[in-house]
């Protein structure tokens, strides 16, 4: 595995989807070891600045994949030489942001790919068909995960789903949830409680899960799989504009999108400004 890329104190792995799938296979085949994969995005990086415990949870994971074009942009921008002239540095920020839309190869120079939790769900389930991995879906609203399994089974008929449950990330319910999951004996656990709840839940409970080899926080991926929420069109995703789609379709998320875009860019600019020449 390549050296980690540090973005505002959060360590990222420079991986593509194929690297993650290879790692998952190795994790599942390891005896007596449990691994957590996290999918930090710009919003999570911003949140981690004022929540040290959460940043430690992210950095304790076996793998952290860059979920969000903003993460790739930040890795690219932070790797460039710093100018002593503030105006020149601002121009550099703007120009690199335009590269996200018009010169994407440059953005992929440091981190080679955007690896989303939503896509990982589908790719790992597809890969599970030839390995017999048992999958468990935890989270989303009641009944949504079972709908997702019905749809996923049609798409991946050889996939093995050990079970699903909505549950809650509230700590007082953890023992009950762990017991339910243990009875199902899955190999891979997908947790969709949203961040930071899902990562903190996995961190607290992974060692209580007897058969789990890999646990992954996947945000709204179960809703996507169930057809309960619609992802941005592929063109917008390829351009790194999924946040714009969410702003249009879910205006109530404005504050979150603001943090993931403008606040994140401001954070990265300040970090670059404060770094040594």
Give yes or no: residues 102 and 179 share one domain: no
Give yes or no: residues 152 and 36 share one domain: yes
Identify the H or E element spanning 214. strand 214-217
Residues with Cβ within 8 Å of residue 52, at least 6 apart in sequence: none
- The 3-class SS string of 49-74 reads CCCHHHHHHHHCCCEECCCCHHHHHH
Question: Residue 81 sits in which domain range?
Answer: 69-113+254-274
Provide the whole-model pTM: 0.91
Token code pair at residue 212:
């789990």
Stretch 31-38: mean pLDDT: 92
Give yes or no: residues 22 and 142 share one domain: yes
Higher per-residue confidence, 32 vs 160 = 160
pLDDT of amino acid 232: 66
**pLDDT-derived band at 245, boundaries 50, 70, 90:** low
Give yes or no: residues 90 and 121 share one domain: no
pLDDT of amino acid 104: 75
pLDDT of amino acid 2: 66
- CA atoms lying within 13 Å on the CB side of residue 215: 29
Residues with Cβ within 8 Å of residue 34, at least 6 apart in sequence: 206, 207, 209, 212, 213, 214, 215
**Domain assignment of residue 18, yes or no:** yes
In this model, does residue 224 exceed pLDDT 80?
Answer: yes
**Domain assignment of residue 49, yes or no:** yes
Domain count across the chain: 2
Average per-residue pLDDT for the chain: 90
**Domain assignment of residue 99, yes or no:** yes
pLDDT in tens, 91-149: 888 888 888 777 778 889 999 999 999 899 999 999 999 999 999 999 999 999 999 99
**pLDDT-derived band at 276, boundaries 50, 70, 90:** very low
Give yes or no: residues 192 and 136 share one domain: yes
């Amino acid at each position: 595995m390549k050296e980690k890329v540090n973005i505002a104190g959060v360590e990222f792995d420079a991986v593509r989807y194929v690297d993650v799938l290879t790692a998952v296979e190795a994790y599942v085949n390891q005896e007596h070891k449990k691994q957590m994969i996290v999918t930090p995005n710009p919003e999570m990086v911003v949140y981690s600045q004022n929540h040290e415990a959460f940043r430690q949870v992210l950095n304790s994971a076996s793998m952290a994949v860059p979920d969000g074009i903003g993460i790739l942009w930040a890795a690219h921008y932070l790797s460039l030489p710093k100018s002593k002239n503030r105006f020149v540095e601002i121009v550099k920020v703007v120009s690199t942001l335009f590269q996200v839309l018009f010169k994407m190869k440059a953005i992929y120079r440091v981190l080679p790919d955007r690896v989303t939790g939503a896509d990982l769900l589908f790719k790992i389930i597809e890969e599970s068909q030839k390995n017999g991995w048992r999958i468990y879906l935890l989270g989303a609203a009641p009944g949504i995960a079972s709908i997702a399994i019905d749809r996923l089974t049609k798409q991946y008929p050889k996939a093995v789903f050990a079970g699903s449950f909505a549950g809650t990330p509230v700590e007082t319910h953890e023992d009950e949830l762990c017991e339910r999951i243990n009875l199902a004996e899955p190999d891979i656990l997908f947790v969709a409680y949203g961040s930071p709840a899902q990562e903190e839940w996995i961190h607290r409970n992974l060692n209580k899960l007897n058969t789990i080899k890999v646990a992954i926080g996947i945000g709204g991926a179960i809703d996507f799989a169930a057809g309960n929420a619609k992802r941005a069109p592929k063109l917008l995703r390829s351009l790194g504009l999924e946040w714009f789609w969410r702003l249009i379709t879910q205006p109530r998320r404005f504050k979150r999108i603001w943090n993931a875009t403008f606040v994140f860019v401001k954070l990265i600019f300040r970090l670059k400004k404060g770094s040594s020449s």
